Structure 1
């Protein structure tokens, strides 16, 4: 799917590890209420395309599931890292991020988010060591 626009913001950013890749997770608000109804997730590891996230979801979900279930799986992993601290590399209370959007999905309130936007993400504050690929225990 082609990237359709770039989105930028500042706010809480959780950087977490999963299956050899480092990802960034933040939220975006669609209006002035600042509810963070959009989950923003993408890979930070250099050379990893945003489609890798959806490939992981396809691998980890049942073969009969579609994009809705895959989006919920992605959201669950990001939320698990943010909430529980699982596999967190670093948390930025006020990180500066940019997303070249690649794929959107409706979450319908799952994990307190209405939408999932994925794509190529960058976070200004990360260091090369924080986003480097690593040897995982498990593969997806």
Structure 2
């Protein structure tokens, strides 16, 4: 499903590097329960578009993977950074962020990593320094 509308929020944010690109992972709440039922993931490195995230998932996943499986791969990488610190650049308990219009939204058939949906797109996070979002050297390419 395409994401035609942008979204602005303030929540927990993890900034992490994967394949040399800085990404942000935030949560969004669809109702007053504030259970963070939506994962929001997008690139933060200037000049990198959100489609690269899906290209990474395709290159690293099974050749026959469908959209939901690719979305689970994306969420797994973001969750790994949040929980284990793998590639983590920064973590904020509450930080403002903005998901630009466009991107892709995927609803999971059942809750995955405590999230019901994944929304991806070009993301900005308030208060990040240029070195936190800069391209990083990597031995792996996609």
Provide the residue aligned with 2:133 in structure 1: 131
Distance 1:23 1:33 in 2: 27
Cα displacement (A) at 1:3: 4.9
* Bigger Cα displacement from structure 2, 130-139 vs 77-86: 130-139
TM-score, length basis structure 2: 0.95
Number of equivalent positions = 140
Q: How does 1:1-140 map to 2 (within 5 A)?
A: 3-101=3-101, 102-107=103-108, 108-140=110-142
Distance 2:2 2:87 in 1: 30
> What whole-Å deviation, never above 9, does each CA across 1:7-46 have from its counterpart, x for those lacking one?
1111110000000100000100000000000000000000
The RMSD of aligned alpha carbons is 1.2
Q: Which runs of no fewer than 5 residues in structure 2 stay unpaired?
A: none
Dislocated runs of 4+, deviation >2 Å: none
TM-score, length basis structure 1: 0.96
Contact 1:15 1:88 in 2 (8 A): yes
Q: Which runs of no fewer than 5 residues in structure 1 stay unpaired?
A: none
Change (3 A) 1:129 1:9: same
